[in-house]
Amino acid sequence: MKIFFMITGIIFTILGLIGLAVPVLPQVPFFIIAIVSFCNVSKKFRGWIRGKKLYQKYLAKYADRYLALGDGVEGSFFPTREILRDL
C-alpha cells in the first residue's frame, strides 16, 4: 500500500505544479491529496505536518475525525458527507 500512496502523492504533486502554471486548473485540491498520501507513507513527514500551526488551527479536528493519517490505511482520504456538512 505504501507504493500506491507514494505514486498517488507524486502524481498529485505534479498535477498541483501544473495547476500553478495553468490558471484554469486548481492546484490546492491536488496538493492536499498529495500531502495526505505522503502522510500515509512516512511517519516522519506525518509528524512534521502535524507540528505546523496551520494544520493544528484548520485541519486537525477534521483530519483526526475523518482522515486516515494513522499507521495504516483504515479510511478514505477523500472528504465525506460529514466534513461537508460541518463546513
Rounded mean pLDDT of 81-86? 49
* Residues 24-46: tens digit of each pLDDT: 888 888 988 888 888 888 888 88
Q: Are the CB atoms for 30 and 15 separated by under 8 Å?
A: yes
What is this structure's pTM? 0.63
Domain ranges of the chain: 2-86
Q: Are the CB atoms for 52 and 66 separated by under 8 Å?
A: no
Q: Which pLDDT value is given to residue 64? A: 65
More confident residue, 74 or 54: 54
Q: Which stretch, 3-12, 37-46, 48-57, has highest mean pLDDT?
A: 3-12
